[in-house]
Amino acid sequence: MEQSIYLEDKEEFKDGIKAGIPIFMGYFPISLTFGLIAKATGLPGFLAVLMSLTNFTGATQFIGVKMLAQGIGIGNIVLTTFMINARYLLMSFCFANKLKGVLSDKEKPLLAFGVTDEVFVVSMTKEKLETSFTFGAQLISYSGWVLGTLTGVMIADILPASIINSIGIAIYIMFLGLLVPPIINSLKIAIVAGLAMLISSIIYWIPALNDFIGNWRIIITIMFASLMGAIFLPMEEEDNDE
């Protein structure tokens, strides 16, 4: 009986790795860009790789590097990261519910660390989810992110400085790529995004307000735009099905 369970877990793990290969292919070029941008902003290569090894937070790492380059405090960066990644709390609840009875306490920290949007989608599409499948998908995805960062850091030492510095625009292109599809599909999201841009612009272009708020502009923008969206433009169930 124990042998059959072991073989089943092994096959589920392999299936998870196979399902995560497209995620690997998507993460690798993005994290490569992160490695290049990190070097361009003056962050040592080993710290860029260490950030990917210990954080695995995707777009938030780009924001963190830019904030570090601007001299923003660590506390502000940590709080910004927490707010942006708060959605993973809900995803973790879904994982815990679907893996109820098969997820041990020792496995929870590992699974929580590897939760990403793409891994969540791949795992939730399985009718019967096993922890081995999720760990397989997470491992290959995590490998793509770390290896991409390492590759970017190594290439940065070879490419001319002018090319490295020009790559900084990639972060804005990536954010636009993440933002445009939801805006096209949902008027509510478009309004909240526009509101966030308006709030951020008002704070930035009013000197007294900008000096008073300082490095908290991003956090305040996120809080007010999200709050206004939740109060006046709540997402209905049909909105999520669009």
Q: Where are the domains of the chain?
A: 2-170, 186-242
**Dist CA 123 CA 129 (whole Å):** 7
Tally helices (H) and strands (E) across the chain: 14, 0
pLDDT at 175 over 50: yes
Residue 166's pLDDT band (boundaries 50, 70, 90)? low
Question: Residue 45: is it exposed, middle or buried by C-beta count within 10 angstroms (0-12/13-18/19+)?
Answer: middle
Q: For 214, phi and psi rounded to 5 degrees?
A: 60, -130
CB atoms within 10 A of CB 145: 26
Average the pLDDT over 54-83 and give the result.
Answer: 84
pLDDT of 208 reads: 87
Q: Are 119 and 143 in contact (CB under 8 A)?
A: no
Residues 6+ apart with CB under 8 A from 182: 189
Q: Are 85 and 60 in contact (CB under 8 A)?
A: yes
Token pair for 116:
């990403």
Note the pTM of the prediction, 2 decimals.
Answer: 0.70
Query: Whose CA is closest to 49, among 154, 124, 188?
Result: 154
Question: Residue 173: is it exposed, middle or buried by C-beta count within 10 angstroms (0-12/13-18/19+)?
Answer: exposed
Of residues 110 and 1, which shows the higher confidence score? 110
pLDDT of 172 reads: 66
State whether the Cα torsion 30-152-215-74 is positive or negative.
Answer: positive
Residue 8's pLDDT band (boundaries 50, 70, 90)? low
pLDDT at 61 over 80: yes
Average the pLDDT over 62-73 and give the result.
Answer: 84
DSSP 70: T
Residue 3's pLDDT band (boundaries 50, 70, 90)? very low
Residues 6+ apart with CB under 8 A from 202: 209
pLDDT of 194 reads: 92
pLDDT of 135 reads: 92
pLDDT at 237 over 60: no
**Dist CA 213 CA 207 (whole Å):** 10
